[in-house]
Every structure is written in C-alpha cells, then in structure tokens.
Amino acid sequence: MDESRLRQIPVFAGLSKKQRKLVAQSADEIDVEPGTYVCREGESAYEFFAIVEGTAKVVRGNQFLNELGPGDFFGEMGLLAKAPRNASVIVKSRLTAVVMTGPAFRHIDREMPELAKNIRRAVEERTHWLEPVG
Ligand code: CMP
C-alpha cells in the first residue's frame, strides 16, 4: 500500500518516511462491511488493524467495552501476548483499515521504539478493562 496513507494514522504518523515505507510494504488496506467480526473473542490472533475510516465496537461476552474510530488500532494484544483475542471487534459503520500480519507487526514493534511505546500505552489502558471491578 501507499506510504502516504499511513501518515493519517497517529500510530504511524511519528515514524520517518523511510520507516513508513517499510511498514507500507508489509501492510494492506481492507474494506469491511457492518456486522463483520474482525476479531472474535477466544480465537487465535494473526493480524493487527489500524482504522482509516469507519467505526467498530469492542465487546467481551455481553459487555460493551469501547467504540473505536479513525486513528484507533486493535488486535495488538493477542499478537504481543501470543494469546487468544480477549474481546470481539465488530464493524459498526463500514470500515477501511490497514492490516498487517503478526510477524510483520512484531518486526515493526521491535524495530520502531516510538511505535512500540504508543502501542504499549494503549495495551496498558485496555488491560485495566480486563481487571475485575471492586
Ligand atoms: P486482541 O486481544 O488481539 O483482540 C481483541 C482486541 O480488542 C484487543 O486485541 C484490543 O486491540 C481490543 N480491545 C480489548 N479491550 C479493549 C478496550 N477496553 N478498549 C479498546 N480496545 C480494546
């Protein structure tokens, strides 16, 4: 995909052009219809997603956790922890997203500390939602 597309997405915006070109080489852009489960709770994690346009909701069991929109990313937790998806991500309004395979994502996460820092911050925030309340 084209490097310039990645500039719109905050998690990639801080990278150098050269780094974005590397990311772009191992990324694809997909369009997904409303109602589609992009991640399914309990299933294996193979891909990382960053939203260009559209919205998706994050649901665990019967619990609504969050709504994600342009600039947000998801699927990082299963890849980094080598664990099953901890929630389902369901498309709400037609989604355009950048998608990367697990190995490509892990490679970039290792090589690009700026990006890794942003991803870790989100994982930390999202992990709070995993802890039981009270
Ligand atoms: P993963 O576990 O691979 O698959 C489900 C994804 O949902 C998870 O990675 C995160 O990207 C995302 N996710 C989980 N919990 C939250 C949350 N509380 N807020 C936003 N996104 C979340």
Distance 78 CA to ligand 1 centre (A): 8
pLDDT of residue 125: 93
Q: What is the mean pLDDT of residues 59-69?
A: 96
pLDDT of residue 134: 57
Ligand 1 site: residues with CB under 6 angstroms? 39, 45, 58, 65-66, 74-78, 85-87, 89, 126, 129
Other beta carbons within 10 Å of 33:
10
4 near 38, Cβ under 8 Å? no
Q: By alpha-carbon position, which residue is closest to atom 15 of ligand 1?
A: 126
Q: H helices within 2-98, ranges in order?
A: 3-6, 10-13, 17-25, 76-81
Question: What pTM was estimated for this model as a whole?
Answer: 0.95
Distance 14 CA to ligand 1 centre (A): 22
**Higher-scoring residue by pLDDT: 91, 5:** 91
pLDDT 10s digits, 7-32: 989 999 989 999 999 999 999 999 99
